[in-house]
Amino acid sequence: MKKKLVTVTASVLVLSSVLSACGSGNKENNASPSASPAASPSASASPSEAASPAPVERFDVSLRHIQIGELQKFRKAILDEVVQKAEAEVPGANFEMDAVEDSFNRWTKLPAEMAAGNPPKIFDLFGGPGDGQKFARANKLLDLTPILDELGIKDKFTDFSTFIVDEKVYGLPIGASAEGWFYNKEILDANGIAAPQTLEELEAAFETLKGKGVTPIAMGSQAAWVPFMLLNTLIPRYAGDDIQAGVANGSRKMTEPEVVAALAKYKEWVDKGYFTKGELGIDYTGQTNEFVAGKAGFLFDGTWRVSTFNADGVGGALNGKVGYFAMPAVPGGKGDPTSVNYNQNNGYGFSADVNDNEKAAVKAFIKNLYTEEYQVRGFQEDGVLPSMKVDASKLTSDNSLMQQVLAINAAAGKVFPHFDSLVPGTVNGEFEKQIQNLIAGKATPEKAAEEIQKAMDAELAALK
Amino acid sequence: MNKTLRNPYVYLLFVLPTLGLYGLFFVYPVLQSVFYGLTNWDGLTPAKYTGLDNFVKAFNDEDFWISVKNNMYFILFSLFVQVPLIILFSLLISGVKRLQGFYKTTVFLPSILSTSIIGILWGFMYHPSIGLFNNFLGWFGLEPIYWLSDTKWAMLSILVTNAWQWMGFYIVLVLAAILAIPKEINEAAEIDGATGFQRAYRITTPLIMPVISVVVMLSIAGAMRVVDIVLVMTNGGPAGATEVMASYMVNKALRYGQYGYGTALSIMIFVIALLLTAIYQIVFARRQERIEY
Amino acid sequence: MPKVIKKILPHLVLLVYVFVILFPFVFVVFSSLKESNDQIVNAPFGFPVQMAFDNYADAWSQAKISKYFFNSAYLAVGSAVSSILIAAATAYALARMRIVKVSKAIYQFILLGMLIPGNVLFIAQYILIQKLGLLDTHWALYLPYTAGALPFSVLLIVAFMKAIPSEMEEAAIVDGLGVIRSFILIILPLTMPALVTVFIINLLGNWNEYLLANFFISKDALKTLPTGMVGFRDAFQTSYPLVFTGVVISVAPIIVIYAFLQRTIIEGLTAGSVKG
């Protein structure tokens, strides 16, 4: 755990130097749209394996991804390019793309395929005990260590600890992200609200917006991982930055008064009507759409959302009108108010069941996707923070929103992970259920905390 | 002649495909379910025998019983809302001469659409801002209702959509039975001075009881296995308010890898279905001609 | 009650019901012709002004609806035909052939299958399909659809065939007709109404099926309409008009087919239900 924090902090530090570099001279450059993303076919991508002239048999390589719809178009474009390159390098390879919605893939389809023994050859995968580590222990995932050694990129990643079992690597994070508050400057200005610095100001802003008939916080909690993001940051603010790790290893409890206080704060916001009405029937895209449509003042979301507000993104209308800040300190909270949630828990995993041809295709996929070029492009186009060590000089952004994100990450004294990268799947499921119960008024904060702790205790007991 | 009809080879030829498929897709999975239901199989590691643990757990699983209750809503809604409406509309359609074909064709229309498309269609009907219902409420200056995201309304919304989809199908069945009643019976009653309502209540309805019994049976069977409409419209939400037995079972097994528990639940569902069928036979079907060999 | 009211009242009630049925369709068609979400949000029930027919071209090219439609159509028809043929043959053996004791046992055995709510066996069937190596092929749907329809079909057709008087068949057999030909030439035509009914019910069931299709098929090229359309909705939910257009495109052919066949379909159901 400690080691992970060090590497993550290191990557944040790298980013901070980037930021200071671009903070100085970039103001004038803003006018010229220099970031033309498509025109960067870097020379480094020359195919190393010579294509054999002999006729080769075509073979399919199934590839499950979650880049569905307009909102993910930048990342889908990168994926398409990588696939093309990999197909060119491996004679006969035909990547068969299968797009599946994120939570359906993560919670239903992939687990079912794992149990049935027919996962795709390449698939979107989360790390942690509920996902990647569980599958790795059941020998369902391809051990990537030899491939990484061969490609010489093993030490290029800043942190893939949630994908490691017994010192072997079973998955590669595609990027990193932090989570924080986005706000609509126009709406705040129109209502005479300055960007909030403290919890008091934040709550005052909610109250003002609500009074004016504007939804304070865009929220779509049909899938519980969405409201979970906000709680995942609120809880450490109250209970300390080690709460996730503590709950996962049994040294801390969900029922501690600080955790309950965080849940109570969330419930208070629900009861005061600060979130989108009918949030339990709105999905993640619906939440994004509401904010993009200028109907809500705030949005708590991951930094991957930054690209949505690019001029050519879905939320292009809000280009330049969105700000970002970290969750403020809470009164009496144990958490470091500068610390941020920081994840690199999502990426790709590969089926253990691959033949030589497919293995070659997998290798080509990894080789082409996990490059500095795409890490930088993902950062520039899509606001995805790098999961690999990247030349700091390339991580500049003339996007003011991205600069804010980088500044906040750079200022972070500590980082904390997501519960779902540390606790077993059943506990995460109970957590999600209780969050929705809290929102629906079916559970009190105390009761919700109790139920989650009960699930955790059961898992801990089973380990012994 | 008897010899011809006792040809064992032809008999086997005719019976074996059914028995083969039935054995493979019904009998084997049932046995498999019983076997896994007694284990803690997680889909990834070898199964361990745990006896009746899963069943004890199921009896104490509050969420499972909530899903059972939701299936019961489907049954109750069918019996007390759909069936009376089905009879009413069937009687009305059978009574008109003009446009009868048009009505018959139109009411059946929703039944040919796939459930997922109906889910999408009705998702927009219930849409908080652009949906039909909230616009309607708006005309009266009423506050919008969050049909699919309010725990109080979500179940009812799904029930209404489900009724919209299937009522026409049953109406066509009942209508056929009504139209098959010899005209003389009704004519005689009319001469005796019976009003339209009296004729419908005292003559037609009793005569179509067998087909209504079929409708009730099909409704119960449909309510027991309902899942598609829920998955498409709410995915069991908000906060589990519309979870049905089948979706709960699938979720337990697939998401949490509790295959042992999931299959134990499937056996529970089977038992509940058996109980309902028994109750139905005792209460309703005793008076009717049962489908018997 | 005046006679006029008596005549009009049923129509009034029925027209309200017809309106309730048709309204969603009209709403969808209108919305599919609008240019933006705003137009739909601002006047959900307004007539489209500009008639954005481009939506149709977009949806057609982006959604692969034709492919989903074709997959659904041939799977639904294929397995409905298979199950009706298999069920009819079995029903004939059980109802008409004189191996009574065995038939009775088989009948009771199959009757048990009727009591199992569909979906209950989902998990076990999933494991089975996986063991057979059929996941991600159309066999993964074709076989369960065909098998799933059998208990109901056999029972209904047996009831029907039992009701056919035996004289005709007996006379034919005395004249030297074999049992298979007697089945095909005499009993099958007489059972046609029931077969049509069962066929339609099975066809609708297969056409609508979502749960198995969702889990047994991953490849986009093999997806059926129900899962394909849900995917389409998820992918294009930022653009309501496009989603509506997709719905119209996927529904229209069915309605056209239904318009042509409605007499057969409804008469089939009608005949079946009255006798059954």
User: Highest mean pLDDT: which of A71-80, B20-29, C156-165?
Assistant: B20-29
**Please, which pLDDT band fits residue C269 given cuts at 50, 70 and 90?**
low
**Average pLDDT along chain C:** 83
Chain B touched by A429 (CB under 8 Å): yes
pLDDT at A32 over 60: no
Domain ranges of chain A: 61-176+344-395, 177-341+414-463
Q: Are A205 and A266 in contact (CB under 8 A)?
A: no
Contact C215 A99 (CB under 8 A): no
- Residue of A394 and A31 predicted with greater confidence: A394
Nearest CA of chain A to the CA of C130: how many Å?
Answer: 6
Find out if CATH 3.40.50.1010 is the number for domain A61-176+344-395. no
According to the CATH classification, is domain A177-341+414-463 in 3.10.450.50?
no
Q: What is the DSSP letter of B237?
A: -
Residue B77: pLDDT band with limits 50, 70, 90: very high
Q: What's the pLDDT score for residue A144?
A: 95
pLDDT of residue A44: 40
Kindly indicate the confidence band of residue B193, based on its pLDDT and cuts at 50, 70 and 90: confident
DSSP for chain C reads --HHHHHHHHHHHHHHHHHHHHHHHHHHHHHHT-SSHHHHHH-TTSPPSS--THHHHHHHHHH-HHHHHHHHHHHHHHHHHHHHHHHHHHHHHHHHSS-HHHHHHHHHHHHHHHHSPTTTTHHHHHHHHHHTT-TTSTHHHHHHHHHHHHHHHHHHHHHHHHTS-SHHHHHHHHTT--HHHHIIIIIHHHHHHHHHHHHHHHHHHHHH--HHHHHH---GGG--HHHHHHHHHHHTTT-HHHHHHHHHHHHHHHHHHHHHHHHHHHHHHHHHHHH-
Between A282 and A86, the higher pLDDT residue: A86
- Which residues of C fall within a CB distance of 8 Å from A286? 237
Confidence of residue A262 (pLDDT cuts 50, 70, 90): very high
pLDDT above 80 (res C138): yes
Contacts of A289 in chain C (CB under 8 A): 237-238
In tens, the pLDDT along C10-67 reads 899 999 999 999 988 888 888 888 877 777 766 667 777 777 777 787 777 776 778 8
Q: Which residue intervals of A372-444 are DSSP H helices?
A: 372-382, 400-411, 425-440
Mean pLDDT confidence for A208-212: 95
What are the boundaries of each domain within chain B?
A: 1-37, 53-287
Q: Does the pLDDT of residue A37 top 70, yes or no?
A: no
pLDDT band per the 50, 70, 90 thresholds, residue A15: very low
Mean of the per-residue pLDDT values of chain A: 85
Choose among A160, A339, A159, A317: nearest CA to A243: A339
What is the rounded average pLDDT for all residues in chain B? 86
State whether residue A98 sits within 8 Å of chain C by CB. Answer: yes
By the CB < 8 Å criterion, does B45 face chain C?
A: no
Compare CB distances from A279 to B42, B149, B259 and report the shortest one's residue. B149
pLDDT of residue C9 exceeding 70 = yes
In CATH, the architecture of B53-287 is Orthogonal Bundle (1.10)
Split at pLDDT 50, 70, 90, the class of A43 is: very low
Instruction: Please give the single-letter amino acid code of residue A251.
Output: S
Three-class DSSP labels, A225-264: HHHHHHHHHHHHHHHCCCHHHHHHHCCCCCCCHHHHHHHH
Distance from CA of C220 to the nearest CA of A (A): 6
Which pLDDT score is estimated for C270?
66
Task: Mark yes or no for CB contact C120/B225 under 8 Å.
Answer: yes
Per-residue confidence band for B179, with pLDDT thresholds at 50, 70 and 90: confident
In this chain, the answer to whether the domains covering A61-176+344-395 and A177-341+414-463 adopt an identical fold is: yes
Does the interface predicted TM-score (ipTM) exceed 0.85? no
User: Nearest CA to CA, how far is B126 from chain A (Å)?
Assistant: 11
* pLDDT on residue A41: 38
Least CB–CB distance from A114: residue in B44, B234, B239: B44
The domains found in chain C, sorted by start residue, are 18-52 (no CATH), 64-275 (1.10.3720.10)
Q: Number of CB pairs < 8 Å for A and C?
A: 50
Q: How does residue A330 score in pLDDT terms, banded at 50, 70 and 90?
A: very high
Structure tokens at B287: 């008076």
For an interface test with B, give the residue of C23, C65, C121, C180 to mutate (most B CBs within 10 A).
C121
**Inter-residue contact A366 to A220 (CB < 8 Å):** no
